Chains A and B, each alone.
Chain A
């Protein structure tokens, strides 16, 4: 029994270095990205992460055209494009009085098309699919350093910025009246978001980069009643998804990135059904109402 468990859960990582690297990278992503996702959900900005993930593609494409599949060049290009899109999305949001979803949807379709077109001028379908879908198992040293560095920076900044971020999220009017510089903190937050999307892009590609950020955050809504609780639940779900997704992909020979995102999706379905906060099952289990 024990040896079977070791065979299933431990041996793949002990045996293959590329699996270990993938695991470390995904665990780093899982620690940092989900709390950002929680803030996005709370701010009703769930779509923004997707827009950013697609918005960085043209920048990455330019980096790729200049230097090929180099992490540094693609990251610099992606960073510039990401900041432009983040600031642009904010400007669109202000100009449209908060009803930004239509403009954002337009923005990310254009960015995706532009990115694919740019890449296709120079690259074949192998590189294109690498950029779109990522290659968790091909994470090299620079990519690993990027992911770990971004995760460390994110956790550090979040630990300082937690209170202003929660305030700006819950009661922006009060934040403005108290001169809490909500706008500045929001920009810091957007910066972290771009960095995390870039780091996730290394493993999961543009199309699924935000899978480990948003799915655990959306699922966490059914497990916590405080912002801290939500973040902890989201990180837990993301860590589990990374580990389970890698093992599933190894044993069943599935594509790795999609396997991880699918496990996170499964965790979301389970949360919707069985989560203690607003889950379907707890609602169906009718218990007599209390006297007062």
Chain B
């Protein structure tokens, strides 16, 4: 998707992200190549979501330099963050994907509505256009959000635990879309917990445990030694923690 002239590479140089003074994740260095498909795995509290939010420009970088495109990034947050009882139809949710091009005021053209309908059909929800999202199952709602990602047509796509709480068939269908995006040359990052799924479908893996443990081809990154190292990350923070000695 270099067509829009956006560099889809994301580079991190000694990036530190914090909640208050506590590091969510610190000293991340490396790059997500354009067109790469990377899984981000690690224990809860490892800083995975915070890293995605920072790449999307929603979390400040405290130290280091995070270079990501200013535009053309689509983020799928964890599903729990949304009010599913909101009175809005599936088609309207998908149409929100046009926001980057239409903004707050421009009227949506018939072609754009057609694109939204096609996206709903592509996620297997043909005929759901007028249905309120409150009437959907968790899996169907996740399909709607993927349809919105399709409409967004962004060169960089960030997925935060996209397959949590969806059934196997939905996960398979949505994975097919991820593979399609990869085939189209988009840069895709996904936070995941299912290591078998990561091994099968994601060529690259970043293993995080508040700092990068391993980053590279999935088999190497998920070696038993690396996974053990990630598991050693203390879940609770150290009350007496000193300022980090590895200052840039």
> What does DSSP make chain A's interface, helix, strand, loop or mixed?
helix
Answer whether residue A166 sits at the interface, using C-beta atoms and an 8 A cutoff: yes
For B158, give the chain A residue with the smallest CB separation: A177
Cα distance, A174 to B87, chains bound together (Å): 17
Task: Pick from A1-9, A131-139, A156-164, A264-272 the stretch touching chain B.
Answer: A156-164
Inter-chain contact B58/A177, CB cutoff 8 Å = yes
- Contact partner of B99 (CB less than 8 A), chosen from A42, A178, A224, is A178
Report the minimum CB–CB distance from A184 to chain B (whole Å). 10
How many chain A residues touch B (CB < 8 A): the figure is 24
Answer whether residue A230 sits at the interface, using C-beta atoms and an 8 A cutoff: yes
Tell me the residues in window 138-191 of chain A with beta carbons closer than 8 Å to chain B beta carbons: 160-161, 163-164, 166-167, 169-171, 173-174, 176-180, 185
Inter-chain contact B96/A225, CB cutoff 8 Å = no
Cα distance, A163 to B96, chains bound together (Å): 9
Residues in B neighbouring A170, C-beta threshold 8 A: 82-83, 86, 88, 93
Number of A-B contacts (CB under 8 A): 55
Q: Determine which residue in B82, B103, B104 has the highest number of CB atoms from chain A within 10 A of its CB, and name it.
A: B104
Report the minimum CB–CB distance from A171 to chain B (whole Å). 6
For A171, give the chain B residue with the smallest CB separation: B82
Cα distance, A161 to B73, chains bound together (Å): 24
A residues contacting B by CB (< 8 A) are: 42, 160-161, 163-164, 166-167, 169-171, 173-174, 176-180, 185, 224-227, 229-230
25 interchain pairs, CB-CB under 8 A = A160-B104, A161-B104, A163-B104, A163-B105, A167-B96, A167-B99, A169-B86, A170-B88, A170-B93, A171-B82, A173-B77, A173-B82, A174-B75, A174-B77, A176-B58, A177-B57, A177-B58, A177-B73, A177-B75, A178-B99, A225-B132, A226-B87, A226-B92, A227-B87, A227-B88
Query: Can you list the 6 inter-chain pairs with the closest CB atoms, starting with the nearest?
Result: A164-B104, A177-B75, A178-B99, A173-B77, A170-B86, A177-B56
